Amino acid sequence: MLACAAMPSHLTPLHSAAAEAVAAHAGVAASELKVETPPRPEMGDFAVGCFTIAKAKKANPAQVAKEIAAAFQPTELLASATAAGPFVNFRANRAAAFKWLIGAATGGSLLPRTLGAGKTITIDYGSPNISKRLAYHHIRSTTIGHALAQSFRALGYRVVAINFLGDWGTTHGMVLAAYERWGAGAPPTIDLLDQLYKRFRAEVADPEGEGRAWLKRLENGEPEATALWQRFRDVSWAEFEEVYRILDIHYDDLNGEAYFAKQTDAILEKLKDEGLLVESEGAQVVELEEEKAPIVLLSKDGTTLYATRDVAAAIYREERYHPTRSLYVVDRGQSFHFRQLFKLLAKMGFGWASTCQHISFGQVKVGGKKAGSRLGNVVLMRDVFKIAEDEVREVIAQVNPSLPADVRDQVARQVGIGAMIFGNLASQREKDIEFDLDKAVSLDGDSGPYVQYSHARCASILRKANEPVATDVDFGKLASDAEWAVAKRLADFPEIVVRATDNCEPHVICHYLLELAGEFSRWYTAGNGDATLRVLVDDAEVRRARLALVAAVQATLREGLSLLGMAAPDQM
């Protein structure tokens, strides 16, 4: 349903050139051809398989590849073509390719900036419940959603970042009841509220019934209950805001469940008129096809439910923003809820129900068990951030003792938080993550700090060069395979970001950055043993060309990190 047509608008001119070279001799559109990377660099730079072409012609793929390679005429960007079995492998004209790639990367035009022009994406992420601190497991929705928001924005989409606060419902009725019973008068701190809520659930005979009774009072607009609820919401938001500030997340829409609780009457009325809303075991429900459980929209006490408010919110998002895609970045435990919700929207006749998508993700486990405030087992997000930051500060003090204390503290925060973000984004969404503090704060190997460090080294070289980066230089001076390997990675960036957004999988960006950083490090390290391979060599023309390549890598690493929501310090 989300498959985009064969629109290769995100391809680099290099990829397009390869596709066109084959298309010209194959009688197919270039846009239908997939341009790949050969498994080993010595085979070529770009590859196009001839399987489908051969099939259409009822010919042997290897023979077709041979013919296409033989007919190839060099272009500005492509130097040669060779057949390798069923593949046509192209070699780039390196000087021209360097020029385009480095120019695009340093000029900020490597990514297709207008791919999403005129399209809006709403992303519901974070969305914590109030009266509770942000626990570590909240980090997944928050970081995945933010990375998606950043990525869509980078491609020119209009993004509406939504924090659908869990600030309404029976749970919050319980918090009110508990506070009134045991805490009245005490300043309603978030910790106190959480504590009272837990006690309430443990000690009261019918906590949910009492909770619904208080919710009823809220839904009836009783001033005292509402004023108290508002205080709870305010202290909660103050806490959340602190974390969002640390993560540099800014929401566009903060309407939580409470906002939509007021809009459910008309929806329920309409459902009733259409005969969809029926009574079942005292509650008001809508039966859904192929689901054994109906969706419950009104409790037996007449209070609204999560689903009711979500229906109102979905309609609001459509009417207000007209999104091309409406994304819900919420843990997998809620898959059933979203399946029901989307089915109900479709049943109500909303064609746009198909634009709604649950972006689910696996659990964060602590000690093998699901982390979450219901089961206890809570690790607070800010505590983890603090530990990571402290750990990094120590490493910096050892490795880079000359860094001024204020810079060191700032970098420690950027790298510590970055390690957390990267660690949470680096694997596929659907996989569960085992929270291991030691591993989380580790700076070795495939990690966020490794990418940031590579970026800092680029910055360091550019600082040391002390001359402006020029891109109108003789790129023929970049003669080593190591330099070419770095540039080729740059060419992969656009497709990676498009894939990350199409599939809502930010982890592909993480892996891309590790590869780009790794390729850069290999090139860079070669200079340790051989001074002629260093960027800062005496030959001015070679030096300028290499500096341009470093600048291109730096710009791409910085941009990639920003897509993930990570800072890119210039020194660390």
Q: Which of residues 84-113 bind RNA (CB under 7 A)?
A: 84-87, 89
Task: Kindly tell me which of 108 and 281 has the beta carbon lying closer to RNA.
Answer: 281
The answer for residues whose C-beta is within 8 angstroms of residue 84's C-beta and 6 or more apart is: 38, 43, 44, 47, 65
**Shortest approach of RNA to residue 34 CB, angstroms?**
7
**Contact with RNA (CB under 7 A) among 8, 112, 126, 166:** 166
**DSSP structure class, residue 180:** I
**Shortest approach of RNA to residue 258 CB, angstroms?**
10
**Contact with RNA (CB under 7 A) among 206, 444, 472, 538:** 444
- 376 belongs to the binding site for RNA (CB under 7 A): no
**DSSP structure class, residue 183:** I
Place of tokens 């079995």: 85
Q: Which tokens hold the place of 431? A: 């996989």
CA distance 36 to 419: 31
**Shortest approach of RNA to residue 55 CB, angstroms?**
7
**Contact with RNA (CB under 7 A) among 120, 163, 363, 424:** 363
- 534 belongs to the binding site for RNA (CB under 7 A): yes
- 425 belongs to the binding site for RNA (CB under 7 A): no
CA distance 488 to 477: 16
**Contact with RNA (CB under 7 A) among 17, 228, 296, 420:** 296
Place of tokens 């503290």: 409
Beta bridge partners of 82: 89
**Contact with RNA (CB under 7 A) among 125, 136, 306, 435:** 306
Task: Kindly tell me which of 165 and 228 has the beta carbon lying closer to RNA.
Answer: 165
Other C-beta atoms within 10 Å of 420: how many?
25
- 572 belongs to the binding site for RNA (CB under 7 A): yes
- 400 belongs to the binding site for RNA (CB under 7 A): yes
Other C-beta atoms within 10 Å of 70: how many?
12
**Shortest approach of RNA to residue 481 CB, angstroms?**
12
**Shortest approach of RNA to residue 147 CB, angstroms?**
14
Q: Which element (helix H / strand E) includes 150?
A: helix 138-154
Other C-beta atoms within 10 Å of 62: how many?
15
> How far is residue 10 from each of residues 156, 385, 403, measured CA to CA in Å?
12, 36, 41
- 73 belongs to the binding site for RNA (CB under 7 A): no
Site string for RNA, 133-162 (x = CB under 7 A): ------------------------------
- 336 belongs to the binding site for RNA (CB under 7 A): yes
Q: CA 365: distance to chain centroid?
A: 20
Q: Which tokens hold the place of 223? A: 């001033």
CA distance 187 to 353: 43
- 299 belongs to the binding site for RNA (CB under 7 A): yes
8 A C-beta contact, residue 92 and residue 77: yes
CA distance 172 to 66: 70
**Contact with RNA (CB under 7 A) among 9, 60, 109, 525:** 525
Task: Kindly tell me which of 218 and 228 has the beta carbon lying closer to RNA.
Answer: 218
**Shortest approach of RNA to residue 419 CB, angstroms?**
8
Per CB under 7 A, contacts with RNA among 540-569 are none
- 527 belongs to the binding site for RNA (CB under 7 A): yes
- 526 belongs to the binding site for RNA (CB under 7 A): yes
Task: Kindly tell me which of 62 and 235 has the beta carbon lying closer to RNA.
Answer: 62
**Contact with RNA (CB under 7 A) among 69, 105, 225, 392:** 392
Number of residues that bind RNA (CB under 7 A): 103
- 262 belongs to the binding site for RNA (CB under 7 A): no
Task: Tell which residue, 117, 110, 140, has the closest CA to residue 128.
Answer: 140
**Contact with RNA (CB under 7 A) among 428, 479, 480, 481:** 428
**Contact with RNA (CB under 7 A) among 154, 178, 305, 421:** 305
Task: Kindly tell me which of 322 and 532 has the beta carbon lying closer to RNA.
Answer: 532
Give the side-chain half-sphere CA count within 13 A for 129: 18
R_g of the chain, CA atoms, integer Å: 28
Q: What are phi and psi of 58, to 5 degrees?
A: 55, 45
**DSSP structure class, residue 373:** G
**Contact with RNA (CB under 7 A) among 70, 242, 511, 540:** 511
Per CB under 7 A, contacts with RNA among 168-197 are 168-171
- 43 belongs to the binding site for RNA (CB under 7 A): yes
Return the range that interacts with RNA (CB under 7 A); candidates 190-198, 219-227, 312-320, 420-428: 420-428
Task: Kindly tell me which of 188 and 569 has the beta carbon lying closer to RNA.
Answer: 569
Task: Kindly tell me which of 90 and 475 has the beta carbon lying closer to RNA.
Answer: 90
Q: Which tokens hold the place of 112? A: 């297709």
CA distance 119 to 325: 9
**Contact with RNA (CB under 7 A) among 153, 199, 370, 382:** 370
- 38 belongs to the binding site for RNA (CB under 7 A): yes
- E strands present in 234-347: 277-280, 283-286, 295-298, 325-329
Return the range that interacts with RNA (CB under 7 A); candidates 136-144, 184-192, 196-204, 523-531: 523-531
Helix/strand/coil for 343: helix
**Shortest approach of RNA to residue 529 CB, angstroms?**
5
Q: What angle do helix axes 190-203 and 170-178 make, rounded to 10 degrees?
A: 100
